[in-house]
């Protein structure tokens, strides 16, 4: 059991809490005294089907150590779903203090083969879902003059990865959403931050293990267990993080990162203005030295998880 209960008296909604990272967040929230809404549709990795089993299991684990939890099976990807999830918290516990937008699916496809459906469904669960749940909580937060959001982004959006245009766009969209909420709602004492996690879950569990090299790589990845992400989500939802707003953190096994956010890195100026020719001759050569290389996440996180 935790020594200090950082979420005592608080109510938390954790979406996608039946499995993976969400499950560990829900459990740690409850260990820290939060009453928890365990939301999960029980979908497959690609978002198909429904199964209440995983959420029920998490609820039972929490109740097993004397915590309080209820399950909610609504999809975050519908406006009514977001409202219903918040209503579940208010009906069961009379208040809401913390939202963790964690639910997610993947439909990886190289861009020229990505269907409209692949795009819509991934954006629907991640970006639209984070909006629907946040929007439903926002009026309640305003009236109470308090509340927190933790949203899940990814280095696929922050840095890049191949075959994930839908996911990367949604995950970078979530960063914009989080920033906008932080700016709009700080006047009501509401905070909004992002976590970019690295964790072994079924979402990345499809990596092949045919060769000894691949096997060794996967064994290292398996050390990054989802429970390592949960402390940051609990901390950011607690009063201890009262002065942390609009930030993006990375968590990978025992490492914690603070991510940069875009700012101008260099400027060029011509008193008479620019033509396409002068941009080619003068402007771009001057900026080129500061270009961001076209990299994928693994190029930047090039060392093994510590």
Ligand X SMILES: NC(=O)c1ccc[n+]([C@@H]2O[C@H](COP(=O)([O-])OP(=O)(O)OC[C@H]3O[C@@H](n4cnc5c(N)ncnc54)[C@H](O)[C@@H]3O)[C@@H](O)[C@H]2O)c1
Positions annotated as catalytic residues are 167
| Cβ at position 71, least distance to ligand X in Å | 11
49: left (phi over 0), alpha (psi -120 to 50) or beta: left
**Rounded CA separation 76/170 (Å):** 14
Q: Tell the smallest beta-carbon distance from residue 45 to ligand X (Å).
A: 5
Chain positions 1 to 60 lying near ligand X, rule: CB under 6 A, are 15-16, 18-22, 39-43, 45, 47, 54
Would strands 255-258 and 147-152 be described as parallel, antiparallel, or unpaired? Answer: unpaired
The answer to whether the beta carbons of residues 45 and 204 sit under 8 Å apart is no
Of residues 247-276, those binding ligand X (CB under 6 A) = none
Residues 79-110: b if buried by 16+ CB within 10 A, e if exposed = eebbbbbbbbbeebbeebbbbbbbbbbbbbbe
- Does position 223 interact with ligand X (CB under 6 A)? The reply is no
The C-alpha atoms of residue 180 and residue 242 are separated, in whole angstroms, by 18
Nearer to ligand X, 156 or 238 (CB): 156
Q: Which residue is nearest to ligand X (CB)?
A: 20
Site residues for ligand X, window 119-178 (CB under 6 A)?
A: 125, 129, 152, 154
Can you list the alpha helix ranges (DSSP code H) found in the chain? 20-31, 53-64, 79-93, 116-123, 129-144, 155-158, 165-185, 212-222, 230-237, 276-278, 284-288, 297-300
> In this complex, which beta carbon is closest to ligand X, that of residue 16 or of residue 147?
16
Nearer to ligand X, 166 or 238 (CB): 166
Nearer to ligand X among residue 146 and residue 297 (C-beta)? 297
Give the number of other Cβ atoms within 10 Å of residue 232's Cβ. 19
Please, which residue, 69 or 146, has the CB nearer to ligand X?
A: 69
Least gap, CB of 294 to ligand X (angstroms): 20
Residue 179's nearest CA partner among 82, 97, 132, 247 is: 247
CB-nearer residue toward ligand X: 37 or 125? 125
In the DSSP assignment, the letter for residue 13 is E
Other beta carbons less than 10 A from residue 248's beta carbon: 20
Instruction: Please count the residues of this chain forming the interface with ligand X, following the rule CB under 6 A.
Output: 34
- List all residues 6 or more positions away from 235 whose beta carbon is below 8 Å from its beta carbon: 6, 241
Minimum CB distance to ligand X, residue 153 (Å)? 7
Residues 197 to 216 in contact with ligand X, rule: CB under 6 A = 197-199, 201-204
Q: Least Å distance between CB 172 and ligand X?
A: 12
Which H or E run includes 194? strand 190-198
Minimum CB separation from ligand X for residue 32, in Å?
19
Contact status, residue 236 vs residue 182, Cβ threshold 8 Å: no
- In the complex, which residues of this chain contact ligand X (CB under 6 A)? 15-16, 18-22, 39-43, 45, 47, 54, 75-77, 102-105, 125, 129, 152, 154, 197-199, 201-204, 226
């Amino acid at each position: 059991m935790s020594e200090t209960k950082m979420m005592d008296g608080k109510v938390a909604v954790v979406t996608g809490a039946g499995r993976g990272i969400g499950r560990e967040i829900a459990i740690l929230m409850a260990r820290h005294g939060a009453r928890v809404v365990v939301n999960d549709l029980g979908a497959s990795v690609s978002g198909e089907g429904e199964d209440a089993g995983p959420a029920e299991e998490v609820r039972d684990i929490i109740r097993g150590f004397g915590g309080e939890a209820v399950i909610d099976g609504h999809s975050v990807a519908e406006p009514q779903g977001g409202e219903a999830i918040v209503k579940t918290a208010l009906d069961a516990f009379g208040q809401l203090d913390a939202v963790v937008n964690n639910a997610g699916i993947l439909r990886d496809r190289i861009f020229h083969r990505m269907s409209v459906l692949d795009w819509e469904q991934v954006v629907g669960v991640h970006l639209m879902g984070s909006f629907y749940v946040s929007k439903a909580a926002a009026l309640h937060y305003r009236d109470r003059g308090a509340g927190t959001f933790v949203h899940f982004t990814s280095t696929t959006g922050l840095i890049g990865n191949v075959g994930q245009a839908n996911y990367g766009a949604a995950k970078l969209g979530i960063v914009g959403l989080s920033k906008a909420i932080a700016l709009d709602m700080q006047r009501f004492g509401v905070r909004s931050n992002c976590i970019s996690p690295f964790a072994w879950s079924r979402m990345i569990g499809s990596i092949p293990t045919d060769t000894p090299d691949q096997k060794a790589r996967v064994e290292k990845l398996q050390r990054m267990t989802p429970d390592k992400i949960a402390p940051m989500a609990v901390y950011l939802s607690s009063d201890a993080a009262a002065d942390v707003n609009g930030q993006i953190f990375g968590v990978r096994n025992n490492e914690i990162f603070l991510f940069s956010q875009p700012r101008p890195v260099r400027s060029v100026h011509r008193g008479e203005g620019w033509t396409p020719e002068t941009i080619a001759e003068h402007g771009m050569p001057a900026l080129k030295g500061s270009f961001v290389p076209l990299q994928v996440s693994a190029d930047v996180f090039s060392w093994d998880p510590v």
